[in-house]
Amino acid sequence: MPNVQKETEADLIPIFIMGKRYLVPESLTIMKAIEYAGYQFIRGCGCRGGICGACSTVYRKAGDYKIYSGLACQTVVEPNMYLTQIPFFPALRREYDYETMEPVAESIYQLYPELFRCVACNACTKICPMDVQVLDYISALKRGDLEAATRISFDCIQCGLCASRCMGELPQYHIAQLARRLHGGKLAPRAEHLRQVVESIAAGKFADVMEELKALPVDELRKLYTERELEPAMSDEQWRPSNNAGL
């Protein structure tokens, strides 16, 4: 696209990257402002779309005691913000054998007894750049509710800021990951229709028809494609095709 390299019209504002002052355009995200200042990221930059957890950033504003957080790729700079990225924070993750683990809270307590060091200070929730109610899912796990913990922690991007602020030194995001897996694979009802399809494919049900399809000349394939029956946009689970060809 015509990426016109002209001087931006936006005003420049001062920000402090790790304490050092740089002038950057006021419309930039923190990530682009850091690049504008001349840094090339190795750490602290990932998907640039707000989901990977690489660019968590903490900052303070002039004259304000509070610590703020945000994803560098999603947060717009403000004049006189003091910022640093925390692309990594050590947190203990314990190994486990998923296959044999019981989907009960006790499994989590055994691996992460520090869960009970939580004093409900809420620093985790306050720092979370995704607005996850971290304290609430930790509380849910203390009372053994894996379903609630899964739901509440679902938007977690595992950036680790919660662990950086925890006075109980919990690795919250590892604990939540364990809870979500136990819920998703062992507590939530499994898809029976999926199991059946997997079995029928393993038994070779479609082997012959796939061989035929692969051997078809393009024009015949095009014909099959054009004539294939389309499931209506507004159909529900009850919809069935008018014939069973290919099923």
Among positions 29-88, residues that touch other proteins (CB under 8 A) are 29, 32, 35-43, 45-49, 51-52, 54, 73-76
Which residues make Cβ contacts (< 8 Å) with residue 11, sequence separation at least 6? 25, 26
Which of 61, 142 has the CB closer to other proteins?
A: 142
Secondary structure element (H or E) that encloses residue 25, with its range: strand 20-25
Q: What is the largest CA-CA distance in the chain?
A: 73
Rounded CA-CA distance 136/146 in Å is: 12
Please report whether residue 239 would count as binding other proteins according to CB under 8 A: yes
Q: Decide: is 14 part of the binding site for other proteins (CB under 8 A).
A: no
If the CB atoms of residues 46 and 165 are measured against other proteins, the closer one turns out to be: 46
Nearer to other proteins, 84 or 133 (CB): 133
- Smallest CA-to-CA distance from 116 within 36, 173, 197, 170 is with 170
Out of 20, 63, 240, 243, name the contact with other proteins by CB under 8 A: 240
- Provide, rounded to whole angstroms, the least separation between the CB of residue 227 and other proteins: 10
List binders of other proteins among 169-188 (CB under 8 A). 177-178, 180-186, 188
Segment near other proteins (CB under 8 A); pick from 12-20, 56-64, 78-86, 197-205:
197-205
What does the DSSP assignment read for 78-125?
-TT-EEEE------------TTT--SSHHHHHHH-GGGGG-----HHH
* Least CB distance to other proteins at residue 19 (A): 19
* Subset of 116-155 contacting other proteins (CB under 8 A): 116, 118-122, 125-126, 133, 135-136, 138-139, 142-145, 150, 154-155
Whichever of 62 and 200 has its CB closer to other proteins, that residue is: 200
235 binds other proteins (CB under 8 A): yes
- Rounded CA-CA distance 186/103 in Å is 6
Q: Which long-range contacts (CB under 8 A, 24 or more apart) does 133-137 make?
A: 134/162, 134/172, 137/172, 137/176, 137/179
Stretch that binds other proteins, among 13-21, 56-64, 78-86, 94-102 (CB under 8 A): 94-102
Q: Is 194 in the site for other proteins (CB under 8 A)?
A: yes
Our measurement of the distance from residue 211's CA atom to the centroid of its chain's CA atoms, rounded to an integer in Å, reads 39
Q: Are strands 68-71 and 56-60 parallel, antiparallel or unpaired?
A: antiparallel
